[in-house]
Amino acid sequence: MIYESVNTIDAIQQGDIFSNIPRVEFTLSSLAVIDDNDDLKKTTWREVLLSKRSEPITAVLAVTPVTAIVITQNCDAVRGQGLSLCQVDNYLKVTGRESAIPKDAKKWQSLIVQTSQQNPRFYYLPEDTRFNLNEKSAVDFRVVLPVPRLDLENMRDHRVARLNPIAREHFRESLSHFFRRYAFNAWYPLTREEFKSYQAQFDEPIPPYDWQK
């Protein structure tokens, strides 16, 4: 398919897929920190800021091992202090389609192509059991995981595969498109009558521009 094997000693590149990357879970509204008496205390980030501590705090955070793919460019992956990866997860789960599982190849290809064209947030990764990628998955460009470069280099035995040259070209373009896109409202040039027709398609309110009121 779209993957190739990588030797453990090979340098890290954009498009390298790792297993067991730590994803840290926390919320600013509820933190468990260890105070100066080594006691566990529940607090919030705002309260921490109000205390005006000059030294770092020690907090207890949930850490989950996840699959992730390197998005840092190759030149930075060689010398940068930190690398960035995006989480990889089950395709139907990450795209919110768990309630409508495709029944055959025709419906799968329709879903994959349509999602790729309409939602740049996701990048499709097919299953390939040779690399222990055992289910259809997707990269979620919104979930970025920072890892120190030296730490990731020490985890190269957890690198399961690398995108092949064709896939890397598509991945690089998808990645750059997602982060450089500019949000705009498709309805801004509509006339008042056209806007009313457009607005009627949606349940949530859509604010009109002055010339559409």
Residue % of the chain over a pLDDT of 90: 82
Q: Where are the alpha helices (DSSP H) in the chain?
A: 45-50, 74-79, 91-94, 105-118, 149-153, 165-180, 192-199
Starting at the edge strand found earlier in the chain, the sheet holding 31-34 runs 40-43, 31-34, 58-60
Q: Which two tokens stand for residue 53?
A: 């501590």
Using only the alpha carbons of the chain, give its radius of gyration: 22
Q: For residue range 111-165, what is the model confidence (pLDDT) as tens digits?
A: 999 999 999 999 999 999 999 999 999 999 999 999 999 999 999 999 999 999 9
Q: Alpha-carbon dihedral of residues 177, 183, 186, 192, nearest 10 degrees?
A: -170
DSSP 132: T
Query: Could you list the pLDDT tens digit for every one of the 213 residues in the chain?
Result: 899 999 999 999 999 999 999 999 999 999 999 988 889 999 999 999 998 888 888 999 999 999 999 999 999 999 999 999 999 999 999 999 988 889 999 999 999 999 999 999 999 999 999 999 999 999 999 999 999 999 999 999 999 999 999 999 999 999 999 999 887 788 889 999 999 899 998 888 899 999 998
Residue 75 CB coordination number (10 Å): 9
Q: Cα(149)–Cα(132) distance, rounded to whole angstroms?
A: 24
pLDDT (0 to 100) of residue 74: 95
Domains of the chain by range and CATH?
A: 1-24+65-182 (2.30.30.110), 27-60 (no CATH), 187-213 (no CATH)
Backbone phi, then psi, for 156, in 5-degree steps?
-65, -15
Half-sphere exposure of 121 (CA within 13 A, CB side): 10
Residue 115 CB coordination number (10 Å): 18
